[in-house]
Structure 1
């Protein structure tokens, strides 16, 4: 049995001519209450690191058996901020996550 060679389509190797999609970034604040857990800050910050974002501000304070955490990120699109908030709410040690989104501004996406 002989297999016929199929012609391969020619794809351009240079994809820089593709426009980069514009996204709307916003100043996002998370107010989080979590149980005292040694690695909760790492797990929360990892949600941003996985997306390539670094928070502008991080503040944590211990109050009895709770850890109150405030995070501010100014490079997240609103939909991505909501996805991250949902992921945080799904963490075992997290009691509550309040998301506050301020004025959006246009930014260029790296993807």
Structure 2
């Protein structure tokens, strides 16, 4: 059992989006171009981990000295998704970030 599944855990599994509490949550898709450094993928995924979010799809391919990364995650308001995209853009290893709505096929 993970810490998020425990009822007496100090962690909350879903954090409320206080800036967009009435906004509809959706599935978003990030496409990134990132420098192929050993910690690049960890830096990107840490932005989600810090908010107790787990992407349901992560794809990464290396092309020369660049990584093409695709991340799909559901349950975010568009505002929150944009904030995460901006934090990604601020990482020194990230060259380009594209964000769009995704259709989640389960």
- Name the TM tier (shorter chain): 0.7 to 0.9
**In structure 1, what is the Cα distance between the partners aligned to 2:58 and 2:75?**
15
Structure number with bigger Rg: 1
RCO higher in 1 or 2 (8 Å CA, sep ≥ 6)? 1
Contact 2:72/2:102 (CA < 8 Å) preserved in 1? no
> 1:90 is matched with which residue?
90
Displacement of 1:22 after TM fit?
4.8
Larger helix proportion of the pair: 2
RMSD over equivalenced CA pairs, Å = 1.6
- Tell me the TM-score normalized by structure 2: 0.74
The 5-angstrom pairing of residues 8-19 of structure 1 reads none
- Tell me the TM-score normalized by structure 1: 0.70
Aligned residues: 84
Flag as ranges the 4+ runs of structure 1 deviating above 6 A: none
> 1:59 is matched with which residue?
59
Unaligned runs of 5+ in 2: 1-15
Unaligned runs of 5+ in 1: 1-19, 104-111
